[in-house]
Amino acid sequence: MKEIALKTGNTDKHLSQIAELKSRYDDKQKAKIAKAANEFESLLTAMMLRSMTKTTGGMLGEEGYGNDMFDTIFEQQIAVQISKSKNLGIAEAIYKKVTGEEMSSAIKKYDSKQVDIKIDAAALPAKVKPNNEALKRLNRFDELIEKASGEFGLDKNLIKSVIMTESAANHKAVSSAKAKGLMQLIDSTASDMGVKNVFDPKQNIYGGTKYLSKMLRQYNGDLKLALAAYNAGPRNVEKFNGVPPFDETKNYIAKVLGYLNHFRESDS
C-alpha cells in the first residue's frame, strides 16, 4: 500500500468544502456531531504521528516481531490522549462549520455510552425530598457519583435517587434479603458487576450504576421497566411482561421517580 504524505500547513483549507448546514440541532444531535469531529481529529493526529516517525521506521523501529501492529495501536492511543488534553482545534472548527455554534464544554465531554431514558417529565410523581441527614451522607459521595455517571452514561440525579431509595445513603446498610451497601447489591449481582467489596462506596456505586445502565439498555431506555428489574429482577419483568404487580416494586419505582423529580428541580 502506497504511503500518503500528509500536509497540514493550512487546516482550514481541508474544512472549506464542508457544507454549512443552517438547520438547528438538538443536544443529542450536537453531541453526535462533536463526537464525530473529535474522532476525526484523533485520526488526523495519528496520521501526523505516523508521518513524523516515518524516517525512524515507526515509533518502535523497523526491527522486532509485531512492531508495525504495536505502532498503530500506540499511535491511535497517543492521538486520542493528545486530542483530549491539548487538541489542535480541528474538532471545534468542524463543529462550528456544521452547526454554526461554538463547541461547549458539556458537548466536549459527551460520552457515546450515554443512555437515552424514556420518561415523561410531566408524568413524574410528586417530589420526594430526602431528609437532611440522608442528604448530608449522600453529598459525601458526589465525586464518586459524578465519575460513575460519566463512565456509564447515566444521569447523576438518577443514581442519587436510587441510592436514596435503596439505602438512604448509608454505605453499611444490609436488607432482610441480604442486599448490601449504598445501592443494595446482592452478592450474585455484585460478583457479576466486578464488585469485590460491596461496602466500599466506590465499588458499590460503580457496580450499581453499571447494573442499572445494563437494565436500561435491556429495556430500550424504559426507566420504569429498568427500575422494576433492578428491584424485582428481570425475570419478573419478563414473566409479567411489564412492571410486576408487586406493591413493593410499584412503591419503589414511585419513590425513585419522586427523588428524581426533586433532584432535577434542585439542579435547574
Q: Where are the domains of the chain?
A: 11-108, 121-267
The amino acid at residue 218 is Q
Query: In this structure, are residues 25 and 17 in contact, taking their beta carbons and an 8 Å threshold?
Result: no
- Mean pLDDT (the chain) is 78
pLDDT (average), residues 202-213: 96
The string of pLDDT tens digits covering residues 62-99 is 554 444 444 444 445 454 444 444 456 777 888 888 88
- Could you tell me which residue, 53 or 189, shows the higher pLDDT? 189
The alpha carbon torsion through 137, 139, 143, 145 (nearest 10 deg) reads 80
pLDDT cut 70: percent of the chain above it: 67
CATH of 121-267, picked from 3.30.1280.10, 3.30.470.10, 1.10.530.10, 1.20.58.2240, is 1.10.530.10
Q: How far apart are the C-alpha atoms of 50 and 54, rounded to whole Å?
A: 6
3-class DSSP assignment, residue 243:
coil
All cell numbers assigned to 155: 444521569
CA distances from 112 to 19, 22, 33, 223 (A): 25, 25, 11, 19
CA distances from 149 to 51, 145, 156, 173, 174 (A): 38, 6, 5, 22, 24
pLDDT of residue 53: 58
CA distances from 180 to 116, 136, 210, 257 (A): 28, 20, 16, 22
All cell numbers assigned to 43: 485520526
pLDDT cut 90: percent of the chain above it: 46
Question: Which distant-in-sequence residues (6+ apart) come within 8 Å of 239 by Cβ?
Answer: none
- Could you tell me which residue, 105 or 200, shows the higher pLDDT? 200
Catalytic residues: 166
- Could you tell me which residue, 53 or 240, shows the higher pLDDT? 240
